[in-house]
């Protein structure tokens, strides 16, 4: 039986998922039942990297697959829409002559990491490819993105890129599902918090379980 770990940034994002899956609280930020666990990391790439690494180093049974679920801003996607992440970029990376870390699509239903990482830890990662969910790239930023010069339909979050790099190092498969919470408007994001159809995340379980 595969070990599954849900990685979610905020408790308010995770709490309904723990109830839906019948997970029991083990300690602060960690829930578990049989082969399914859930980790709440906190917001941001740095905090996510630290918390997830600590979890993996202490875990008796490391996960076979990590499922990252949460909210994301989008340039053009409809608020409340679910998206399967197909590529992951580090939004702030802008060093001339150095390659940006990126999950890049190839073949029909695979994605891989193209980066400066050693080839021995590059891993293929899953993408769902279902008709009822679209695939978009996601840029992970250090802060809430309210404007961008990117013209394509893309997502913005604050955690995914760190999760992906850690999955590469530990050899763990990754699925990332994001629900659009805003269109790069911080004021609208806070307005949408009161909209249950936008902010609930349990419907995302239908794509994976």
In the predicted model, is pLDDT for residue 103 greater than 90?
no
Above 50 in pLDDT, residue 120? no
Instruction: Identify whether the C-beta of residue 42 lies closer than 8 Å to the C-beta of residue 51.
Output: yes
Q: Which pTM was predicted?
A: 0.82
Q: Give the per-residue pLDDT at 41.
A: 97
144: nearest Cα among 191, 174, 181, 113? 181
Confidence category of residue 121, pLDDT binned at 50, 70, 90 = very low
* Burial class of residue 9 (count of CB atoms within 10 Å of its CB; 0-12, 13-18, 19+): buried
pLDDT of 80 > 80? The answer is yes
Q: Packing angle between helix 45-58 and helix 160-170, nearest 10 degrees?
A: 30
Q: Average pLDDT of 111-136? A: 52
Q: What is the pLDDT of residues 45-71, one digit of tens each?
A: 999 999 999 999 999 889 999 999 999
> Nearest 5°: phi and psi at 166?
-65, -40
The strand pairing partners of 135, in sequence order, are 84
CATH number at residue 142: 3.40.50.1580
Find the domain containing 111 and state its range.
Answer: 4-207
Pick the residue with more confidence: 207 or 41? 41
As a whole number of angstroms, the distance between CA 174 and CA 66 comes to 5
Within a 10 A sphere around the Cβ of 136, how many other Cβ atoms? 21
Number of domains in the chain: 1
What is the percent of the chain where pLDDT is above 90? 51
Render pLDDT for 160-177 as a digit per residue (tens, 0 to 9).
Answer: 999 988 988 888 989 999
Longest dimension (CA), the chain: 49
User: How large a percentage of the chain has pLDDT more than 70?
Assistant: 80
Q: What is the pLDDT of residue 186?
A: 77
Mean pLDDT of the region 129-145: 84
Reported confidence tier of residue 148, pLDDT bands at 50, 70, 90:
confident
């Amino acid at each position: 039986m595969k070990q599954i770990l849900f990685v979610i940034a905020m408790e308010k994002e995770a709490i309904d998922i723990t109830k839906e899956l019948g997970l029991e609280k083990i300690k602060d930020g960690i829930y578990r039942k049989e082969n399914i666990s859930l980790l709440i990391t906190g917001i941001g790439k740095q905090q996510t990297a630290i918390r997830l690494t600590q979890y993996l180093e202490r875990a008796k049974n490391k996960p076979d697959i990590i499922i990252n679920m949460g909210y994301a801003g989008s340039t053009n996607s409809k608020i409340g829409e679910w998206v399967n992440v197909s590529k992951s970029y580090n939004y702030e990376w802008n060093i001339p002559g150095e390659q940006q870390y990126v999950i890049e699509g190839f073949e029909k239903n695979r994605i891989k990491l193209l980066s400066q990482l050693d080839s021995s830890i590059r891993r293929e990662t899953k993408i769902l490819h279902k008709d009822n969910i679209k695939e978009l790239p996601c840029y992970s930023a250090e802060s809430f993105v309210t404007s961008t010069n990117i013209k394509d339909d893309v997502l913005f979050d604050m955690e995914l890129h760190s999760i992906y790099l850690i999955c590469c190092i530990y050899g763990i498969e990754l699925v990332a599902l994001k629900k659009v919470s805003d269109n790069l408007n911080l004021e609208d994001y806070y307005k949408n918090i009161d909209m249950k159809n936008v902010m609930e995340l349990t419907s995302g379980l239908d794509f994976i379980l």
